[in-house]
Amino acid sequence: MFRLGWFLGNGFGMQPWYGNWAGRAMTDWTQPGLYVDLTTSLERAGFDLLFIEDTSMVEDTFGESMETTLKYGLMAPKNDPIPLVPLLTAATEHIGVVATMSTIQYPPFLAARSMVTLDHLTQGRVGINVVTSVTHRVAQNFGYDKHFAHAERYAMAEEWMEVVSLLWDSWEPGALVHDQETPKYADHTKVHTIDFEGKYFSCRGPLNTIPGPQRRPVVAQAGNSTPGRELAAKQADTMLALAKSPAEMKALRQDMDTRLIKHGRKPQDLKILFMATPYLGDTDSEAQERFNRFNAAKKDPDNIEKRLWYLSYVSGGVVDYAKYDLDSPVPQEVGNGETTTAKAWLEGSKELTLRDLAEGPSNYGMEFIGSADTMAGEMAEVMEEAGGDGFLMYPDVTRRSIMEVCDGLAPALRKRGVIRDGYAHKTFRDNLLDF
C-alpha cells in the first residue's frame, strides 16, 4: 500500500480563475468553500494529507515589474493559510492538513506556539511544511535587505527547527497534574526553560502552552538539495520529492535511508511523497487527447509568459527571463531559489532556445495519462518498482479535477488494494506512519 497527498500548489491563493471549469474562483477564492470541498473529498478518497503551499510576496523580477504577476495572479494574491487549517479539519475527521511556514518569516517561538495551538484545534491533525523561502521579495517583507544565500538559509533552518523542537519538548510527559483538590494544574519541575543561544536565534522558553495530541506536529520538508535532504533526515516525518522515473525515486529513497541512519533514525520514520500530475479521461484516448491539448496550449503567448515567469521565480528572483529573446539560448544560471526545481527545469536545455524550454515538458515530477483504471495500474506499478511511500498529487484545483481524482482515480486505486480504506488511528502522525 502507498499514501496519497494533494499538493495545493498555489496555497490559499487563486486557483484557476479563468477558462473552462474555473467556476467562481475569481471572486470566491478568499472564502473557504473550495478548500472545504477539496478536503472533505480527499478524506472520502482516503488521502493522508492536504499540503498547503505558502509564499509572502508580489514578485516583480520578471520584466522588473509586477505586471505579469498581477495580470495572471501568479502566486499573488494569496491569503495566510494558517487560519484556514481549523476550518478544514472542522469539516473532516481523519485527514491531516499541512501548512507551510518559512524559517525567515516566523520567529521559532511564534511558529512552535502557533503549530501547537493548531494541534489542539485540529485534535492532532496538523503538520508544518518547513521552508526557507525562495526570493528576495519575501526576505524584504521581513526586514532583510535581500534573501540569504542557499547554504546559509538551510543553516538557519536547522537552528530554527532545533529551537522549535526544544519548545515542543519543554513540557515533559506527566507535567499536567490536573488535581482540582490540591489544586495543582501542572508540576513546575516538569516544565523547563530551553535557554537557547544560537547563531541566528535565541529563545528562553518554556512554551507557554501545553503539548497537543501529537506533541510534535507532523513535520514536512520539500527542498531536495543536499542541505534540504539533511534537514529532512534530521527532522521530517514526510518529504516531498521531484523524480521523473522509478530509478530516480529509488536513488532518492536510498540516499535518504543512509542519511536517516546517520542521524540515528530509521528509514521508516520518513515517508517520501513523489510529485505526480494526473491527466484523466473517461477513456485512455480521451485522456491522451486532453494531454495533447494541454501540451499544444503551451505555445500560447500567455502560457509562454507564465512559464518564463515561473523560471524567474524558482531562480530566486535572480534571473529575469523577460530580458532574453525567445529564440536565444537558455541562460544556464540555477540561481539562489528552489535549486532542485530550477535544475530539473533546465536539464538538457543547453541546446534549446527559451521558446523550446517554455513549450517543453513540465519536468515537475511524474505525469500519468489515462482512464482512472489505467492510471491506477500504472501508479501501482511505479510504486511497486520504486518501493516508494506515496504520491503527492498535483492537478489544477477545480471542482472537476477534485471529483476526477477523488471519485474516479482513488476508487480505482482502492479496488486494487493499493491505498488505504480507512484510518486506523486518531492522529495524523499515527496514520501517516502506520505502514
Ligand X SMILES: Cc1cc2nc3c(=O)[nH]c(=O)nc-3n(C[C@H](O)[C@H](O)[C@H](O)COP(=O)(O)O)c2cc1C
Q: Which residues bind ligand X (CB under 6 A)?
A: 53-55, 100, 102, 129, 131-134, 222-225, 228, 240, 242, 275, 337-341
Q: Which of 139, 146, 55 is nearest to 101 (CA)?
A: 55
Helices within 144-270 (DSSP H only):
150-168, 226-235, 246-262
Smallest gap from Cβ 208 to ligand X, in A, equals 27
Smallest gap from Cβ 200 to ligand X, in A, equals 15
Cell numbers that stand for 215 in this block: 506533541
Which helix (H) or strand (E) covers residue 433, if one does? none
Smallest gap from Cβ 144 to ligand X, in A, equals 14
Helix (H, G, I), strand (E, B), or coil: what is residue 88? helix
Helix (H, G, I), strand (E, B), or coil: what is residue 271? strand
| Closest residue to ligand X using C-beta atoms | 223
Nearer to ligand X among residue 100 and residue 235 (C-beta): 100
Smallest gap from Cβ 225 to ligand X, in A, equals 3
| Measured CA distances, 230 to 120, 151, 156, 257, 300 (Å) | 29, 12, 13, 11, 40
Nearer to ligand X among residue 128 and residue 372 (C-beta): 128
* Contact between residue 52 and residue 119 where contact means Cβ atoms under 8 Å apart: no
Smallest gap from Cβ 78 to ligand X, in A, equals 10
- The length of the chain is 435
Nearer to ligand X among residue 132 and residue 398 (C-beta): 132
Nearer to ligand X among residue 275 and residue 375 (C-beta): 275
Nearer to ligand X among residue 42 and residue 231 (C-beta): 231
Task: Please tell me the number of Cα atoms within 13 Å of 102 on its side-chain side.
Answer: 20
Nearer to ligand X among residue 42 and residue 222 (C-beta): 222
Nearer to ligand X among residue 287 and residue 319 (C-beta): 319
3-state SS string for 23-70: CCHHHHCCCCHHHHHHHHHHHHHCCCEEEECCCCCCCCCHHHCCHHHH
Widest CA span in the chain = 79
Smallest gap from Cβ 296 to ligand X, in A, equals 26
Burial zone of 271 (CB within 10 Å; 0-12 exposed, 13-18 middle, 19+ buried):
buried
Smallest gap from Cβ 39 to ligand X, in A, equals 17
